[in-house]
Structure 1
Amino acid sequence: MPQTLDAAAVRTWCSLALEALGREREEIDAINVYPVADGDTGTNLYLTVESASQAVEAVFAAHETGSSAPAPADVVRAMAHGALIGARGNSGTILAQLLRGMAERLGDGDHLAGALRRAATLAREAVAHPVEGTILSVAGAAAQAAGASPQDAVRAAYEGARQALDATPGQLAVLERAGVVDAGGRGLLMVLGALVEAVTGEAPVAPVLAHVRHEIGDPGLEPCAGGGPAFEVIYLLEADDAAVARLRTRLDGLGDSLVVVGGDGLWNVHVHVDDAGAAVEAGVEAGRPYRIRITHFDTAAAPREREQVQRAVVVVVPGEGLSVLCAEAGATTVLARPGEPLASGELVDAIRRAHAREVVLLPNSAELRHTAAAAAEQARTEGVRVALIPTRAAVQGIAALAVHEPDRRFDEDVVAMTAAAGATRYAELAVAERQSWTSAGVCQAGDVLGLIDGDVAVIGADLAATAEVVLDRMLAAGGELVTLVLGEDVPDGDAVTARLERYVRDGYLAVDTLVYRGGRGSTPLLVGVE
């Protein structure tokens, strides 16, 4: 039996693991009661492995035109990197670290038993406060069993993991009360089963677990205690080791379920907190956070209810500050990355994370119209009722979210949100990167462009002065409220917004002004007029 993995075996492993998690995703979601009963562990593990598998396929695709196969070390490192950047949720983040640990040893030619031991060690080190009866216990048991049987490492690891998974309810009271095994551990068992099949060519016999709820949605499942943090915050972070050590300490004081995985300058950060903004700010202090995902927990809901709350809003935002703002309003957010178009799969992922029967989708960009429509159609095939409001700017999304009332009938809520978005004229102040022809004339590199409803209407040399002209044109048709969203990199940004607030107050007595911080990734200035 091979004691290490070649490139083809790694590829097969990823493919089989993804297939297995796809089959079991809903059932794993249904038994998810720890650390938060949010019913998404199976989905998170699936998406994590999907990202790993895509990275592996990209390596093979790059070698299709050549005569040689990819090196095993390149494939296992691609697998680990793909899992790191695509990790979702608590268990997905831990799985990414397990794969990283295996890749470290397999990439250096170590045997499978040594790789499994390194994986379990790294994963436990990544969790701020390890708890027994979780995916960590299952990983540790797999590594210990593999080390005791080096001639049959993968089968021994699988059997050790199976026994450890069966024991998890006796280690964690919340699992015992609910009558389930740990969801993350069950997902890991699927991944290890795929490894057995990839190495031996034979799939292991499906285990009969002593503690498994026999029917998804079993009414006997008890609610978990409420009172936990309100938000799950996940982001990728470019930072050095010293900065990450300080970040761990800072985040550990802000919340719980802290997992920080990665290395070599790239990290995946996962934490549950009440102050999502503080968690993101801590990342900014440590380095460069991006791909920020903030999910609002319904901590009062029972596990099954949390899987399908009645209604949710999914909103695309162009800056980290707006992501925090919308998440605090109860929305599930997707951060738009400059120069990196969103894929429909990312929006489908966000709709799944919302765990709702009904979802209102706010793309906040004309360029995302078809992408959002594709995501909505995919979600509908999964049984979710989705209404796509074609918002073209973040200020329209803010206006729609402000009138959202989840207790209203779905159609009435959608109509009210659509009307609020449609009644909001929008503008953007940006800086020209090069000389170009525009609808307002020729601009030079460095000029300030005032775009109203997507078209260049004003060309100026100063941000505040150009914004004043834009405001005059927009308010000429009337208005009651001006919304200003300031980007992070605007010099003297506070002075700019103070000047614009005074300008509106002095020139338009019946018009109020609201100011928000768009944060990193936002354009210099967004303007909305309602």
Structure 2
Amino acid sequence: MPQPLDADAVRRWCRIALDTVGGAREDIDAINVYPVADGDTGTNLYLTLESAAQAVTAAATGRPTLAEAVRGMAHGALIGARGNSGTILAQLLRGMAEVLAEAGAGGDPGPGGADADAVRRALRRAAAGAYEAVARPVEGTMLTVATAAADAAEGAPGDSAAEVVAAACAGARRALAATPGQLPVLAAAGVVDAGGSGLVAVLDALDAALSGRAPDAPLRDRLGRAGGLDAASGAAAGAECPVATHDSYEVIYLLEAGDEAAAALRRRLDALGDSLVIGGGDGLFHVHLHTAEPGSAVEAGIEAGRPHRIRITALAGETAAPPRPPRAGRAVVAVLPGEGLAGLCAEAGAATLTARPGEAPGAGELTAALHAAGAAEVVLLPNDDELWHAAAAAAEQARVDGVRVAVVPTRSPVQGLAALAVHAPERRFDEDVVAMTAAARATRFGEVDVAERQSWTMAGVCQAGDVLGLVDGDVVVIGHDPAEVAGDVLERMLTGGGELVTLVLGGTAPAGLADRLTEQVRRGHLGVDTVVCAGGQSAPLLIGVE
């Protein structure tokens, strides 16, 4: 059933876009051959969207209006934009926000949210604003895809926001498939435009948020260009495409300045390099430039206003001094949901990052933790399905700075504990990672938690306050007594056998729960040992079976 384009839809859009772009990140990176074949477009788009999603979450206190939600999304994208593609995406979201905020000023406009006409105008404003932000627009890029989406939306006969967005997605896909015919570098590599691919994924996420359908097929299947994607990493190196000249750098900064100063800065920076994009407005701009004179680019910003969050990076293939001093040794970084679990992992020798309740750490925070470990080789244990894409993006960023990083796909803290138990820094790095991964995969994980709202689950409909029992991430039991649900979950997990049960008690675990479950194991499963520890997480109980 189609959903209204309101504040709730914006939150869903952010969540789905993060998951969709995160899942396609490596494929998008692989086909990145324009404007510079540096293989980071997917990662930059993901990090930009992550900042947008965090801003929407921060605005979600109370009951935000559509205007508040879309403005938060656009502002978050602007301040967190990465690379050429991320800066353009931020400008596209700003254009949409300007129109949708007008439609939702003072509250969502009626029960239906923003209407079809508002969506048409929002997509057109987005495309026009993106062209204005880019100093030298080129067809066959995400700009072309954005225009095609706006054209298709204006020609859509539907009278609902969901129908217009579906039409825009179809137009964007057609334009993306045609990009190799517009840019010779894409044709030579046998790929479509990477930034355009990311934009299609973002529009698909909006379509999914409004239609209730799952996002479209993965990038390879959707485009039917598997050969081009498989060859992309090799083609990018050999294609005749624009490449960075010696001593070329990417310069990015936020700038507080007036509109006239920003316009003058655009003219000055255009003479210093290429790939110039200046997005934003209302006193805050995001500047992106490729140049051989990074110092001059920053000085120009200082003369125009107040630049901050300055980032200067040598472009791919350049000779530059190592950004960080040489490192040695190996470390493990574990993300944990409670102080008790963090203490256990710290005792086992891991560096820990404790997640705040209801607020997962972002890729930037994870990257900082990887660097803070101070080792040449780092194993990252995310310990949460929801952190997988952020962990992968953080690992990619740390690798750019010379840190060797492997992400072990731990889906629960109990899998992280199992992986850490077999960690042996004296082994070769790859052997250690394989052993930790095998230990994590051999550990089934369960959880007892309390539902926050009514929702559909694999076990039926749950209501707010119901006790949920999960096995390997899926709800298998809905009940009212935490101890009874925990006993049911434990029995299900031991059906397939096991040698060790780990019970991690949360702060809200009922008294006597550990004793009751330990006795259940002793009576019904001979030869199975039980370990109990206090985790301090918000969920009453985590269970691991090895």
TM-score bin, normalised by smaller chain: 0.5 to 0.7
Q: Which runs of 5+ in 1 are unaligned?
A: 64-68, 302-308, 316-342, 352-358, 362-368, 389-530
C-alpha RMSD of matched pairs (Å) = 3.2
Partner of residue 323, structure 2: 313
- Rounded to whole Å, the distance in 2 between the matches of 1:344 and 1:53 is 10
The answer on 1:136 being equivalent to 2:131 is: no
Contact 1:345–1:375 (Cα < 8 Å) also in 2? no
The answer on 1:189 being equivalent to 2:192 is: no
1:157 to 131, 154, 168: 168
Count of residue pairs brought into register by the alignment? 333
Partner of residue 243, structure 1: 261
- Rounded to whole Å, the distance in 2 between the matches of 1:28 and 1:387 is 22
- Rounded to whole Å, the distance in 1 between the matches of 2:301 and 2:192 is 34
Contact 1:59–1:75 (Cα < 8 Å) also in 2? yes
Question: How much does 1:202 deviate?
Answer: 1.1
User: Residue type matched to 1:35 in 2?
Assistant: P
Partner of residue 468, structure 1: none
SS in structure 2 at match of 1:313: coil
Contact 2:216–2:222 (Cα < 8 Å) also in 1? no
Deviations, residues 194-218 of structure 1 (Å, cap 9, x unaligned):
0000011113542642555242665
Partner of residue 234, structure 1: 252
Partner of residue 101, structure 1: 95
Question: How much does 1:225 deviate?
Answer: 4.7
- Rounded to whole Å, the distance in 1 between the matches of 2:81 and 2:376 is 23
Deviations, residues 47-98 of structure 1 (Å, cap 9, x unaligned):
00000000001111x32xxxxx111110110000000000000000000000
SS in structure 2 at match of 1:291: strand
Contact 1:142–1:157 (Cα < 8 Å) also in 2? yes
Contact 1:175–1:181 (Cα < 8 Å) also in 2? yes
Contact 1:347–1:375 (Cα < 8 Å) also in 2? no
User: Residue type matched to 2:33 in 1?
Assistant: V
Question: How much does 1:373 deviate?
Answer: 7.0
Contact 1:18–1:49 (Cα < 8 Å) also in 2? yes
SS in structure 2 at match of 1:258: strand
Question: How much does 1:346 deviate?
Answer: 3.3
- Rounded to whole Å, the distance in 2 between the matches of 1:375 and 1:126 is 40
| Change beyond 3 A, Cα 1:7–1:216 | farther
- Rounded to whole Å, the distance in 1 between the matches of 2:233 and 2:186 is 14
| Change beyond 3 A, Cα 1:168–1:238 | same
- Rounded to whole Å, the distance in 1 between the matches of 2:58 and 2:377 is 23
Q: Which runs of 5+ in 2 are unaligned?
A: 104-113, 326-360, 381-390, 406-546
Contact 1:4–1:106 (Cα < 8 Å) also in 2? no
| Change beyond 3 A, Cα 1:375–1:300 | closer
Counterparts of 1:28-177 in structure 2, within 5 Å, are 28-60=28-60, 62-63=61-62, 69-109=63-103, 111-151=118-158, 152-177=163-188
Contact 1:34–1:182 (Cα < 8 Å) also in 2? yes
2:230 to 212, 215, 221: 215
Partner of residue 202, structure 1: 213
Aligned identity (percent) is: 57
User: Residue type matched to 1:14 in 2?
Assistant: C
SS in structure 1 at match of 2:252: strand
SS in structure 2 at match of 1:290: strand
- Rounded to whole Å, the distance in 2 between the matches of 1:216 and 1:10 is 36
User: Residue type matched to 2:98 in 1?
Assistant: E
TM-score by length of 2: 0.56
Deviations, residues 277-325 of structure 1 (Å, cap 9, x unaligned):
0000000000000001111013479xxxxxxx9x95347xxxxxxxxxx
TM-score by length of 1: 0.58
- Rounded to whole Å, the distance in 1 between the matches of 2:250 and 2:367 is 15
SS in structure 2 at match of 1:163: helix
Contact 2:186–2:193 (Cα < 8 Å) also in 1? yes
1:298 to 316, 336, 340: 316
- Rounded to whole Å, the distance in 1 between the matches of 2:50 and 2:291 is 27
| Change beyond 3 A, Cα 1:95–1:350 | farther
User: Residue type matched to 2:39 in 1?
Assistant: G
Question: How much does 1:114 deviate?
Answer: 1.2
